[in-house]
Structure 1
């Protein structure tokens, strides 16, 4: 239970990855693939933390700096795209007429949002790894709970987002969501770039 609660406490916060999963869920595009990648990535990162990989991240801090800057650039680019969709309603119509973006684009985006986020290494690898290590023999049970929390959260967010589709039947609602996503992406990108 401690692992489940701790995992959920860290993952439920609004961030770039959650915003993308929500958007994909509302649109009904490649939801299973996106949810699977998020949950599997968290499982790998949690296991790495339990195995003590967090020590390596602490020993080679330049790795986090490289990831931080790459993540900031990616978030800024994603924020620009969301801002364009929010500001120019015509881009929404053009996107709808162009059809669904491919699975490759969705997979690439979710992988970048997950693995280029230095906070995932700090929260999932270092923090969860440290708490798991304090559990002694129960560290893998703690890790299993944290992994279960990740699976539950991403499934609820991705597949539950379809309940919001009636709200997003209006283009204005998409503009508001994309505006909020742009603000989140720019804020996170700035925080990453300047190490805030």
Structure 2
């Protein structure tokens, strides 16, 4: 059972660590301290639900509806392009540096909705959580402990993103630093949108 747990931990950890749209967004709100623990918690919960659903057979249903994945792909491209445009606009116009003790400008509802969108509009999330990871889990001695390992990996990773991003924020008090951050996030989101439009595999 321990081997199944560690396998789930390592497999899921290896997949979600790659910087994709979801990770980049969570890291961005963490650096800005915009309700980042809510965002990270939503990512953890979504991962857990999708992984458990995949282990219980939703993968077979998903494979029978390729048109749904195709629609999600183009919705994801549009949403990521919008996020990239917003980041580039902030980088071009500039903004004030971070106030260490201040809260984010956006409401928790807006942050949560954006987190949900950047998670659910990426088809790779479904391929990973409903197909790839469950197919490996089905070969394990204990699928339950394997699933527990995958969920643990998600919790550890998004906790690290939320904590690490917030920990860096006191050093980002200059507007020039924000231009660099927003520009980097814009490039990442745009690159992910391009790859997604071409049908290339993406990190969740």
Give the TM-score band, short-chain normalised. over 0.9
The match for 2:59 among 43, 46, 54 is 54
Higher helix share goes to which structure?
1
Give the structure 1 partner of residue 198 of structure 2.
Answer: 194
| Post-superposition CA distance 1:137-171 (Å, at most 9, x none) | x1111011000000011011112212211331111
In the alignment, structure 1 residue 119 sits paired with structure 2 residue 127:
no
Deviation of the 1:195 alpha carbon = 1.1
3-state SS in 2 of match to 1:14: coil
Distance in 1, matches of 2:134 and 2:185, equals: 30
Matched pairs, number: 191
Give unpaired runs (5+ residues) of structure 2. Answer: 1-5
The match for 1:45 among 50, 62, 83 is 50
In the alignment, structure 1 residue 154 sits paired with structure 2 residue 158:
yes
TM-score (norm 1): 0.92
Runs of 4+ in structure 1 off by over 2 angstroms are: 93-96
Q: What is the RMSD computed on CA atoms of the aligned residues?
A: 1.7
**CA spacing shift, 1:95–1:62, aligned 2, 3 Å:** farther
3-state SS in 1 of match to 2:172: helix
| Post-superposition CA distance 1:57-93 (Å, at most 9, x none) | 111111100110001100000000001111121xx24
